[in-house]
């Protein structure tokens, strides 16, 4: 006798996974965020987050670190990805592999090696802790910016570039009116993949001997001190911020779809 499954039954494993590992932990975080040590409902944790100079300063520092890291990654990755995708090298994937290869190495080994390099540099010049953090974050997240840009450039239709040139546009105008608009999906994808993780990735900072807190380390310090209520509130606020950033980037992606239609 053959067993028959309809499409709704095939969704059951995914629904169970979603309930157990996404919805249930989120409900636990919400419960602790809006309760005190005695389990009573309160807004004190929420008010305390926005009235504490420590948490607000950490949030602003995390934003600054994430934005500078993202911009630096974009500044390096954009021309690199363009060169790799549009160059005439027959084995351009070998060059791309050189940028991706560090991702295959253990994270601890990569950051330890970078720390040794920065230590040698500090013997000659004085590096600010913020600069150390930016260098470490950029080194760690640069491949995540290069890959989506490289994919976008590979999808560029050469006929559009040739048509723009035939219509009298110089190379700068071709780049500004054709190449840049068509590469925006890769830019948005790269920004999303770098900006959000760099706000919470405190491991790089800890391994580079930077004692400055970012949001991830601040949350960890509260949970390490068994203060689940304030730690959960900070996690919830950060989750809302990440959701807003994702929503904004998606809106830019929707506008870019209209721009792509205009170009095409």
At 73-91, the pLDDT tens digits run: 999 999 989 888 877 666 6
Which CATH entry fits the domain spanning 53-263: 1.10.287.110, 3.90.180.10, 1.10.3720.10, 1.20.1050.10? 1.10.3720.10
Tell me, what's the pLDDT at 252?
A: 65
The per-residue pLDDT for range 122-177, each reduced to its tens digit, is 766 666 778 888 888 898 899 899 989 998 888 887 888 888 887 788 888 888 88
Least confidently predicted of 68-77, 162-171, 238-247: 162-171
Domain boundaries, the chain: 53-263
Tokens 């995540």 locate to 144
> Sign of dihedral through CA atoms 127, 128, 129, 133?
negative
Give the range among 63-77, 90-104, 133-147 with minimum mean pLDDT: 90-104
- Taking the C-alpha atoms of residue 191 and residue 257, their distance in angstroms, rounded to an integer, is 17
Q: What is residue 88's predicted lDDT score, i.e. its pLDDT?
A: 66
Full-model pTM? 0.82
């Amino acid at each position: 006798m053959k067993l028959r499954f309809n499409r709704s039954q095939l969704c059951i494993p995914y629904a169970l996974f979603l309930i157990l590992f996404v919805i249930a932990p989120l409900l636990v975080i919400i419960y602790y965020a809006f309760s005190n040590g005695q389990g009573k409902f309160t807004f004190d944790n929420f008010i305390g987050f926005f009235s504490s100079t420590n948490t607000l300063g950490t949030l602003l520092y995390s934003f600054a670190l994430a934005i500078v890291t993202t911009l630096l990654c974009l500044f390096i990755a954009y021309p690199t990805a363009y060169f790799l995708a549009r160059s005439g090298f027959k084995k351009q994937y070998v060059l791309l592999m050189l940028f991706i290869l560090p991702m295959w190495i253990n994270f601890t080994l990569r950051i330890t090696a970078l720390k040794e390099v920065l230590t040698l540099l500090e013997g000659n010049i004085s590096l600010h802790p913020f600069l150390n953090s930016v260098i470490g974050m950029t080194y760690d997240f640069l491949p995540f910016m290069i890959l989506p840009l490289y994919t976008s450039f590979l999808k560029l239709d050469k006929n559009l570039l040739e048509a723009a040139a035939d219509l009298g546009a110089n190379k700068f105008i071709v780049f500004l009116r054709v190449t840049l608009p068509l590469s925006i999906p890769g830019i948005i994808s790269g920004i999303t993949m770098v900006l959000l993780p760099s706000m919470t990735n405190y491991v790089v900072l800890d391994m580079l001997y930077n004692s400055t807190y970012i949001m991830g380390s601040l949350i960890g310090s509260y949970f390490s001190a068994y203060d689940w209520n304030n730690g959960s509130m900070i996690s919830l606020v950060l989750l809302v911020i990440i959701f807003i950033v994702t929503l904004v980037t998606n809106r830019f992606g929707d506008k870019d779809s209209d721009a792509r239609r205009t170009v095409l």
